[in-house]
Structure 1
Amino acid sequence: MDAVDLARGIAVALMILSHGVNGLLPFDDFTDWGLVPVHAVTKVASTLFFIVFGVALGIAFVPKTNRPDWAQRRNRLLLRGLLILFWYKALTVIEMYGQHSRGEIADTLLYRDFPSYVEVLGFYAVALLWLPWLLPLWARTPAWLRWSSPLLLAGLSWWLLRHFDFWGVPQLQALLVEHPDYYTWGQLARGPLVLLGLLIGGLLLPRYRDAGQRIALAGALAAIGAVLLVLFQQLAGAGREEVLQSIARNAGKHPPELMFMLFSMGGALLLLALSLAGGQALARLLRPLTIIGTNALMAFIFHITVIFVLFRDALGYLHAVSYPYALALTLLLIAATSLWIWLWERMWAMWRRKR
């Protein structure tokens, strides 16, 4: 579905926007308008990415769990997880070389520590190693339990974070429910977003071709997103600008806190609603973003390599450029990422035809 690719492409483009600028400059060098609204808006990216991950699973795999070839489909998902795990580790080295010692890089590769910029791939890889086993069970689960599962899992994650010490292993806590000392995405902490995506995918699949029903679903998602943002506004009160600046600086991101999640989920649902309401027409209009969404892994490989090998190492831009210059470079990088994926897909199609 082009609309789902567009939503994923928006999420990845916002991640590139965050990584490109923050990969070259510390927050203290950001302009005020760079923090809010530009960098604050990028905080919806990860939430949107996790939700769209669930939507894609709900559309492409859940309906096929009762088919005879499900084992082959499940194994393809598992292999995809292993492929992403490989690239997660490879890009970890690319991110850390030149700025960290070999011992620090080794610790990160062995899960004694975690990277920052490529950590979302770590979540994605691990999730694809256990979620395929869950999908058949999800398909047979009573509707009331499916619809309550995001809240149940969020409650379990919250309880574990506050009442369980994970046998004194902080890295295990980080992998499951997150830890304030590690920049990583917990499987249980962000799992509710994937489950929400599974629910949305189940609603979207039979309604996508009917414009009226698809727009009605988009309207419902937009309404929920708007309610979350209004609640964020009410809780922030007169200090909204300060709260937004702290969110732009990643306050409340790991482990997830209420104000961060209200802002991030509200924005993510609005962007998902926009993508679904626009359908194929909007996906064609914003084709560069849609192209990025068709191959998120390639987008990660390309933009991380450009930021850390070309911008930081070869050109020496680390802490050496102004915020507007870093922002302009990053916008060009988003366009270049889309172009690279388009060229890659064309070359791959030509090679397959020759075979």
Structure 2
Amino acid sequence: MVNWKETPQLPKAEGRIEAIDLARGIAIGLMIVSHSVSGLVGIRNVPDWGMVPVHFLTKFSSSLFILVFGIALAVAFLSHTQTDGWPKRRLKLWLRALEVWFWYKALVIIEMLPFSAPADIVNTLLYGRFAIWVEILGFYAIALLWVPLILPLWARAPLWSRLAVIAGLAGLAAWLQGFTFGGNDILKAFLVDHQDHYAWGQISRAPLILIGLLIGEALLRCYFTPPLRRRLVLVLLGIGALMIAAFYGVAFTEGDAYAAMLAVANNAGKHPPGLEFMLFSVGGALVLLGLALAGGALAAKTLLPLTVVGSDALKAFIFHIVMIFLVLRFLLQGEGMYTYPQALGIGGVLILGAAFWIWLTRWISAHR
């Protein structure tokens, strides 16, 4: 029986939950594959068999990444919001925001070097426009500023009010899409996405973060008790499957399921979020999350490179952007030199390379 007045119940984790790292690593792995192809080949040059299913399935990445962001916040921070140590942990999150923001700006330069004039790069650094491939990092830098402010309120709020906030923010984001914001497209992109910019709106993506907080709370209560964990996994798999089925239901209603799949593969409905894209992306993310939790520590060890990548998402993100845009595209002038299968292979190598780089830096730090 659901207790709608219940506030978060957060027992301490019995050690690191490696399944969270695995889920995050899957999200980053899909992102690396997508960026390798779009950065080196270009979406327009991808063959049809590459768009569907390969790039169709990579659309799980962004939603899974944001959900896991919320889950990790719940697991690592939410239970501490009512303790004397919270100000120190909140400061840690804000310092992390500055670190992510620094790397976001540095990677903007690296992304734009191969094809942009210095004036365009400076304009982007000053928020006169947005980049493309590194904008998800800019989203996290801003989110890490406001999320610590709401965590203490979230930890005291009854379940009904938390669900109402999620629904309210989703409705507000959809309503604000009709506003021009005085012609300030940059502000609109910051808040609720804009079709001409690849930025991630804080309001439009906030519901996913908050859903991640709810899942994180459930994860802490269920993960270390096998029957409860199985129940949580079945709920995630069931909801995810229903959302994907709903996507296909809408697609068949409109008369051409393949066209709908191709549209999602081409990012239709990603900025700003559209119904079909979000049904498929979030549904797939929940399925992948459920599978990662079902596999637990065994799956995390079996897919160790992805788990390592997920254990340090920022370092993995930096590695793949530097390799694709600074090394392959700028220094080696590799744009257009690779076939689609080669770009997919490069994506796989970069996942392994990112895992090795994370391991190597940790080994060096441990042996200083």
Q: Structure 2-normalised TM-score?
A: 0.93
Distance in 2, matches of 1:212 and 1:148, equals: 29
1:121 counterpart = 2:137: yes
Q: Percent identity?
A: 49
SS at match of 1:16: helix
Matching residue of 1:227: 242
Structure 2 residue 220 is matched with structure 1 residue 205: yes
Match of 1:215 in 2: 230
For the residue of structure 1 that corresponds to 2:329, the secondary structure is helix
The whole-number CA distance in structure 1 between the counterparts of 2:201 and 2:278 is 14
Secondary structure at 1:120 match in 2 = helix
What is the rounded CA distance, in whole Å, between the counterparts of 2:110 and 2:261 in structure 1? 31
Matched, 1:261 2:273: no
| Aligned partner (choices 124, 129, 132) of residue 148 of structure 2 | 132
Root-mean-square deviation (Å): 1.0
Post-superposition CA distance 1:325-354 (Å, at most 9, x none) = 111111111111111111111112223xxx
> Corresponding residue for 1:168?
183
Q: Is the counterpart of residue 48 in structure 1 residue 60 in structure 2?
A: no
2:192 aligned residue: 177
- Aligned pairs (5 A) from 1:98-113: 98-113=114-129
Contact 2:51 2:262 in 1 (8 A): yes
Matched with 2:306 is 289
Measure, in 1, the Cα distance between the counterparts of 2:281 and 2:147. Answer: 24
Q: Distance in 2 between matches of 1:306 and 1:241?
A: 34
Alpha-carbon contact 1:39-1:248 (below 8 Å) kept: yes
Separation of aligned partners in 2, 1:197 and 1:210: 20
Q: Could you say which residue in structure 1 is the equivalent of 2:205?
A: 190
Q: Is the 8 A contact 1:147 1:199 kept in 2?
A: no
- 2:362 paired with 1:345: yes
| 1:41-98 superposed Cα distances (whole Å, 9 cap, x missing partner) | 1111000000000001111111110110100000000000000000000000000013
Q: Report the residue type matching 1:301 in the other structure.
A: I
Give the conservation status (yes or no) of the 8 Å contact 2:107–2:322.
yes
CA distance in 2, matches of 1:241, 1:347: 49
1:180-223 CA-partner distances (Å, limit 9, x unpaired): 11111000011100000000001111211112211210110100
**Does the CA-based 8 Å contact 1:218-1:273 persist in structure 2?**
yes
SS at 1:116 equivalent = coil
Structure 1: stretches of 5+ with no match in the other structure: none
On the 8 A contact 2:113/2:330 being kept in 1, the answer is no
Q: Which moved more, 1:77-86 or 1:208-217?
A: 208-217
Shift in Å, 1:252: 1.0
2:45 corresponding residue in structure 1: 29
